[in-house]
A and B are shown apart, each in its own frame.
Chain A
């Protein structure tokens, strides 16, 4: 048996030099596996089973997430969550879920390879991303853990505010779009094109 050759969506770009003059840092996060989980919060059996299997409560609030240890659960819809877990651990987690969920009306599906995660971080991360989405990333509701599905650069995406030290966003895009989104980000993230919205500024001429 040959060694398994894993190639993430942007692996072929790993050796490319990023332009020097970017105002944010860009990375692919390829070591997370993902499980799409469906079920009803109104079904206590489902909630209990999912919580037990994941070891963390399902975030019930729209646009939120919960984290425990290695596992992060992102709210996707009122009956849908995206569970992320280190690659390699997903089969075990999935079996655990399936077992616990039993015959509740629910669905846990391995979608680890359907998306990739592009990490955008730095002080200008918000404004760089706002070139591609109408969602207000400067709103006070965008706190660590905040998640939202959105249209980014004409592509369906999800965005998680990971932490603010420095501002770090994970942009989840379907795998086939990864190159497109990456190139798009390279185009808008040049230092010369920085936008500083609000905050102190040089007074314009009078």
Chain B
């Protein structure tokens, strides 16, 4: 035979068997190392079925053998791993993995293999390990939890993660639409059609590879033809429309506020070869929809009877879908077990396809729907008022041999005669639950419907309208009319269309009249061993009816407690098959009705979505923005060792071949001190302020006064936040009476510009000032060192750099070797120093020109670390090092820059608060270690009194500490309690290696106290 023993011939029955299968082609794939074959159209689940493989996985806790239960997103059992090495992906639902050539799949959660899984032993101990057992044990001895945990951790989890980084790519896409239709079943398509006809921009998404939903496997005709024909023609019409976008293999994963939807499009999963052509594996769509039509259908629920988890028990809808769609038989002989009419469709379809059916077992005593009659008429044996109470298995529970059937009456124990029926599969239906997930993600509330015995949408404050089975409308004609009306109505809301609709605009449908469903939440088993039988409610997490009852008995009575205590609904399927059944079981245990018990919260995503897709394009070298300065290329070519500062990458130092970082930094420092150095300071924030009130604004945002500054001059200023803490600093230059150029720290550039705007717009809207950030307009370089002037004078230009003409803290505009520049005489190193700014597109070239001009003067580029040491030698602070958001200017000894005259500036009032104004706060001081070679570690704390062991009272910490090649010893700055009154004291810094470093508190200026060097 074909090697697919359960594959049904194409031509049986009415010709629908294996509707989507391309039997002319074979696809090779493997499962647990075994080579198998299937056809295009197959999923891994249908192909496994076809190959006669029923046992596909092991359950989470008891390692029970499990088979396929469903046919789609609700599948709890058939979780497999697909792919190898970097492309290995665990926990995929076999029911949704489309077969492709060479697909490699594996079962999970078993060792050494699926058949002989050691973990089955848990099943033997299952009485010892009911829900929540771990809260009651593993506590002795006290320290042992980590020991037990090790084993528990290894036993838990399902599949394994990939061992290599993911070679595939992902991306995001945004879209806006008038109407987003989620679900491409009959309801969704009908809604889309009428919405599109009304002129709306419509998107239709469905998680399946095909549109049509259950159309090919539900009863009923549209326009007197099989539903699929109508689907076919509708899809063609919609595809041809300019205003419609149809998407398959796309899950609507989440609904967020204001009708924002997250979609995940699986672009290459079904055909990995597409990736080679540049297609991303997944594409995450972010869609803003004016209106959403939720046509997500309904999910069938199983029935809770003893050993209902055995491979071979599957949903009735799945059974017929495997037959109709994939042409596989779920077994050799089946029993249908139901409490509603819909499962009769399964009985009919199976029979039509020649799959032997032993019995339809219906709990209802007198089912009377049209399908029931049709089944009876077709000669199908129906027993009523009966239930399947247990299954008998062979092959260690992996294979069903027969079922037990006994008379059933809700709420009472099973009595009467029990019959054994030979069969190897059971198709079960407990009714259908509207798929309300998306509806509930943001705001939708549900209500309990007695007819459906399930929750259906009630109200929402979002623009999301449920239709069809998702709205609890199961009758085909009602569903189509509801969907088409809704489509038109929401389109009208979205685009205000005036297109008139008549009744005839919608297709007419007919479906068999259904009888009433009878709720069945629990079917007790018969016989002495009743208690030992497991009635599974949540298959994946192995939650049984007894577990739910135990939780209730133990006082975990809120449904939320029960969920967490038993892990009900917390598995990868999020309880799609189990939630309502669990509530049903609980009605007994809690003596309460389902609506009173209530549901747990639905949360995104509807089905799990890959992390790779969430990261999208922002992966690898595009993870987080990188900003580059104009001479960036030069830095790279010259071996810069970069450090990230905010989004910028700045050279930390420039090691020469063989240099350590330390060597490089020392060399760079000495070149500034002795000759001349060049620093790329382009990242420095630059903001221009212009307007009649510019000076007034500056007086309010700085602690010191700027209105008195002369044109062409600069002044160092301190900015506080409203809590009185230092936030930023920099030199601001007056370009004209009403025009200033403010410098901020590199990290502060954007923040300060926003800060100024905020104050201007919200608090001082009467001030006339325009604020324009110009950081990016200018490349800016510091040229510092005794030879700085010589270098600049080496270059052609119209600026007089001489000491007399170009005073300290002043600024000139002109040309330097042709480039337009702004030159500032400011110094952060204490040396003779200028900063030269030129428009960014000249930055690289001017940088080269400066280096060339300095060649004979020993010029060297220096990085941020040399900059830091240079300023520390001079006792200059760095915001973020000496200050940390809890430090005031007075703490730092910068009282000279804090005006006492001004009535108000930002932070002034806060500085007066008791704790900030208190004496003996931590104050900035210098430190000289007793051993000059010893560099204190950054952040080391001084203690009030040295003790043998902690705790010790801490009196302050090192804020910056360096080896200073200039003074030939270590230097440090620190914030020490009452430090300024303790000059000369020796304090202790106990370090982690047991060593205690002693240091003398000194003034924080270590070099050129008089400031002579910068004034030459």
Chain A residue numbers with a CB within 8 Å of B817 are: 1-2
Contact yes or no, B172 A1, CB < 8 A: no
The verdict on A113 contacting B845 (CB below 8 Å), with A131-B617, A183-B621 known, is: no
What is the chain B residue whose CB lies nearest that of A153?
A: B617
Q: Does B228 belong to the interface (CB within 8 Å)?
A: yes
Contact yes or no, A204 B278, CB < 8 A: no
Contact yes or no, B174 A200, CB < 8 A: no
Contact yes or no, B239 A204, CB < 8 A: yes
Q: Does A38 belong to the interface (CB within 8 Å)?
A: yes
Chain B residue numbers with a CB within 8 Å of A44 are: none
Interchain CB contact (< 8 A) of B239 among A6, A127, A203: A203
Contact yes or no, B174 A131, CB < 8 A: yes
Interchain CB contact (< 8 A) of A154 among B211, B618, B842, B845: B618
Of A48-56, A117-125, A158-166, A187-195, the one with at least 4 CB within 8 A of chain B = A187-195
Chain A residue numbers with a CB within 8 Å of B66 are: none
Contact yes or no, B691 A195, CB < 8 A: no
Of B400-408, B530-538, B570-578, B768-776, the one with at least 4 CB within 8 A of chain A = B768-776
Q: Does A110 belong to the interface (CB within 8 Å)?
A: yes
Chain B residue numbers with a CB within 8 Å of A200 are: 239-242
Query: How far apart sit A46 and B492, CA to CA, in the bound complex (Å)?
Result: 45
For chain B, give the interface size range.
35 or more
Interchain CB contact (< 8 A) of B228 among A30, A132, A206: A206
CB distance from A66 to the nearest CB of B (A): 21
Query: How far apart sit A205 and B325, CA to CA, in the bound complex (Å)?
Result: 13
Instruction: Mark each residue of chain B from 163 to 178: 1 if its CB lies under 8 Å from any CB of chain A, else 0.
Output: 0000001011111100
Q: Does A106 belong to the interface (CB within 8 Å)?
A: yes
Of B244-252, B860-868, B998-1006, the one with at least 4 CB within 8 A of chain A = B244-252
Query: How far apart sit A36 and B776, CA to CA, in the bound complex (Å)?
Result: 13
CB distance from B40 to the nearest CB of A (A): 11
Chain A residue numbers with a CB within 8 Å of B618 are: 153-154
Q: Does A109 belong to the interface (CB within 8 Å)?
A: yes
Query: How far apart sit A4 and B796, CA to CA, in the bound complex (Å)?
Result: 13
What is the chain B residue whose CB lies nearest that of A185?
A: B617
Contact yes or no, B211 A205, CB < 8 A: yes
Interchain CB contact (< 8 A) of A136 among B176, B248, B274, B648: B176
Contact yes or no, B625 A177, CB < 8 A: yes
Query: How far apart sit A7 and B847, CA to CA, in the bound complex (Å)?
Result: 12
Chain B residue numbers with a CB within 8 Å of A111 are: 772, 774, 776-777
Contact yes or no, A195 B283, CB < 8 A: yes
Q: Does A201 belong to the interface (CB within 8 Å)?
A: yes
Q: Does B818 belong to the interface (CB within 8 Å)?
A: yes
Q: Does A21 belong to the interface (CB within 8 Å)?
A: yes
Q: Does A47 belong to the interface (CB within 8 Å)?
A: no
Contact yes or no, A206 B621, CB < 8 A: no
The verdict on A4 contacting B845 (CB below 8 Å), with A198-B201, A201-B239 known, is: yes
Q: Does B819 belong to the interface (CB within 8 Å)?
A: yes
Q: Does B688 belong to the interface (CB within 8 Å)?
A: yes
Contact yes or no, A197 B175, CB < 8 A: yes
Query: How far apart sit A132 and B839, CA to CA, in the bound complex (Å)?
Result: 29
CB distance from B268 to the nearest CB of A (A): 9
Q: Tell me the residues in window 499-522 of chain B with beta carbons closer than 8 Å to chain A beta carbons.
A: none
Contact yes or no, B278 A7, CB < 8 A: no
Contact yes or no, A199 B242, CB < 8 A: yes
Q: Does A5 belong to the interface (CB within 8 Å)?
A: yes
Contact yes or no, A131 B173, CB < 8 A: yes
Q: Does B1016 belong to the interface (CB within 8 Å)?
A: no
CB distance from B889 to the nearest CB of A (A): 31
Query: How far apart sit A153 and B624, CA to CA, in the bound complex (Å)?
Result: 10
Query: How far apart sit A8 and B690, CA to CA, in the bound complex (Å)?
Result: 28
Q: Does B97 belong to the interface (CB within 8 Å)?
A: no
Query: How far apart sit A110 and B238, CA to CA, in the bound complex (Å)?
Result: 52
Chain B residue numbers with a CB within 8 Å of A206 are: 210-212, 228, 231-232, 235
Contact yes or no, B617 A184, CB < 8 A: yes
Query: How far apart sit A2 and B819, CA to CA, in the bound complex (Å)?
Result: 9
Chain A residue numbers with a CB within 8 Å of B633 are: 12
Chain A residue numbers with a CB within 8 Å of B796 are: 1
Query: How far apart sit A133 and B173, CA to CA, in the bound complex (Å)?
Result: 8
CB distance from B489 to the nearest CB of A (A): 22
Chain A residue numbers with a CB within 8 Å of B692 are: 105
CB distance from A103 to the nearest CB of B (A): 9
Q: Does A175 belong to the interface (CB within 8 Å)?
A: yes
Q: Tell me the residues in window 832-869 of chain B with beta carbons closer than 8 Å to chain A beta carbons.
A: 839-845, 848-849
What is the chain B residue whose CB lies nearest that of A184?
A: B622
Q: Does B550 belong to the interface (CB within 8 Å)?
A: no
Query: How far apart sit A180 and B649, CA to CA, in the bound complex (Å)?
Result: 12
Chain B residue numbers with a CB within 8 Å of A79 are: 770
**What residues of chain B have their CB less than 8 Å away from a CB belonging to chain A?**
20, 169, 171-176, 184, 201, 209-212, 228, 231-232, 235-236, 238-248, 274-280, 283, 286, 288, 617-618, 621-622, 624-630, 633, 648, 688, 690-692, 768, 770, 772, 774-778, 796, 817-819, 839-845, 848-849
**What residues of chain A have their CB less than 8 Å away from a CB belonging to chain B?**
1-9, 12, 21, 30, 36, 38, 79, 105-107, 109-115, 127, 130-136, 138-139, 153-155, 174-180, 183-184, 187-188, 190-193, 195, 197-206
Residue contacts A-B, CB under 8 angstroms, 19 given: A4-B818, A7-B843, A21-B278, A105-B768, A107-B770, A109-B774, A113-B839, A130-B174, A136-B175, A154-B625, A176-B627, A190-B278, A193-B279, A200-B241, A200-B242, A203-B246, A204-B184, A205-B211, A206-B235
Given contacts A176-B629, A193-B278, A206-B231, 13 further A-B contacts (CB under 8 A): A1-B817, A7-B843, A36-B772, A131-B172, A136-B288, A188-B617, A201-B245, A203-B238, A203-B240, A203-B246, A204-B211, A204-B235, A204-B246
